[in-house]
């Protein structure tokens, strides 16, 4: 196997965190214990991402579909999120981590929104490393929101009707100011994309690991990054075009 090449290091890694429930079930614990441990993993992996050299880490924490889970579980997840934000603010500031979100965060409980807005404002000045939480996020919802906003911009004369380009539409996605993910990881052995960054991940490399999210470690993140560095990204070109620079 060729060694990892530093110039192929991913800028942006995104993780579909999965397996909290199974982790708890294997131990005879309630599902919420899995989520609680999952929050610890969020802390550790956020730090690991920075130490390993990522510039952006996105974590899929709550999908638009997750509202359909039992109300107790939804309530517990929102409680954990609020607790996490309160507890992490000092760490974000100490470690110079910028927090961002993607998703319909205005539909989250008021307490969560309050802590989110506060943390985002307090960390907005940091530029080296960004943690993006996908909250009440779904890619199809994002596209619908972007299409609505794009149409409004056309009606207001800020976009030209009849023209279309990816660059123009991209400005209306939640991620307009973020680089596309280079690497998308899913834990717990599932090999689905589950409505996550469908457009932004168009050229991403995927790594699927059987490790359940509460057990996911810095070594697992490093292994996924190493796997990424061994792959050849071609963006529709031939292998020769990618490996032999044009004269
Ligand atoms: C998937 O496991 C995980 C989730 C739906 C939520 C992820 C949430 C956390 C890690 C904790 C809260 C996050 C933050 C940022 C504080 P699952 O419940 O679908 O697991 P299963 O497939 O084994 O049932």
111-123 pLDDT, tens per residue? 999 999 999 999 9
Assigned domain for 203 exists? yes
pLDDT at 6 over 70: no
Please give the residue that has the higher pLDDT: either 7 or 32.
32
Residue-range definition of the domain harbouring residue 121: 9-137+181-230
Contact status, residue 200 vs residue 173, Cβ threshold 8 Å: yes
Question: Within 10 Å of residue 90's Cβ, how many Cβ atoms?
Answer: 10
Assigned domain for 154 exists? no
Ligand 1 binding pocket (C-beta < 6 A) is 17-22, 35, 38-39, 42, 59, 61, 66, 77, 80-81, 84, 133, 188, 213
What tokens does 97 get? 């981590």
**Percentage of the residues of the chain whose pLDDT score is greater than 90:** 89
Question: For 159-197, how does the pLDDT look when each residue is reduced to its tens digit (9 = 90+)?
Answer: 998 888 999 999 999 999 999 999 999 999 999 999 999
| CA 218 to centroid of chain Cα atoms | 17
Assigned domain for 78 exists? yes
Assigned domain for 93 exists? yes
Assigned domain for 3 exists? no
Please give the residue that has the higher pLDDT: either 128 or 237.
128
Probe residue for ligand 1, chosen from 35, 44, 119 as the CB with the greatest number of ligand atoms within 8 Å = 35
When divided into structural domains, the chain yields a total of 1
Query: pLDDT at position 7, please?
Result: 57
Please report which confidence band the pLDDT of residue 47 belongs to, taking 50, 70 and 90 as the band edges: very high
Please report which confidence band the pLDDT of residue 41 belongs to, taking 50, 70 and 90 as the band edges: very high
Assigned domain for 44 exists? yes
Structure-token match 């008021």, residue found: 110
Assigned domain for 156 exists? no
The CATH number covering residue 71 comes to 3.40.1180.10
What tokens does 65 get? 């579909």
Query: pLDDT at position 4, please?
Result: 42
Assigned domain for 32 exists? yes
Structure-token match 């929102």, residue found: 78
């Amino acid at each position: 196997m060729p060694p990892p090449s530093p110039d192929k290091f991913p800028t942006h890694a995104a993780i579909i965190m999965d397996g909290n429930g199974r982790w708890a079930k294997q131990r005879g614990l309630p599902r919420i214990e899995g989520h609680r441990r999952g929050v610890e993993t969020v802390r550790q992996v956020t730090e690991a991402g920075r130490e390993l050299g990522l510039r952006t880490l996105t974590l899929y924490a709550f999908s638009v579909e997750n509202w359909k889970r039992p109300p107790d579980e939804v309530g517990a997840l929102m409680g954990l999120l609020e607790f996490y934000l309160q507890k992490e603010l000092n760490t974000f500031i100490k470690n110079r981590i910028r927090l961002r979100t993607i998703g319909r965060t205005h539909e989250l409980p008021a307490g969560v929104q309050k802590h989110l807005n506060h943390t985002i404002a307090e960390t907005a000045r940091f530029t080296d490393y960004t943690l993006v939480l996908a909250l009440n996020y779904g890619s199809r919802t994002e596209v619908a929101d972007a299409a609505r906003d794009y149409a409004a911009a056309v009606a207001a004369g800020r976009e030209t009707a009849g023209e279309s380009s990816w660059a123009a539409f991209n400005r209306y996605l939640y991620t307009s100011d973020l680089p596309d993910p280079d690497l998308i990881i899913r834990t717990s052995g599932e090999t689905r994309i589950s409505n996550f960054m469908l457009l932004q991940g168009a050229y991403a490399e995927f790594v699927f690991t059987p490790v359940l999210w509460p057990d996911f470690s810095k070594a697992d993140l490093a292994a996924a990054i190493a796997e990424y560095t061994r792959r050849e990204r071609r963006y529709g070109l031939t292998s020769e075009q990618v490996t032999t620079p044009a004269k």
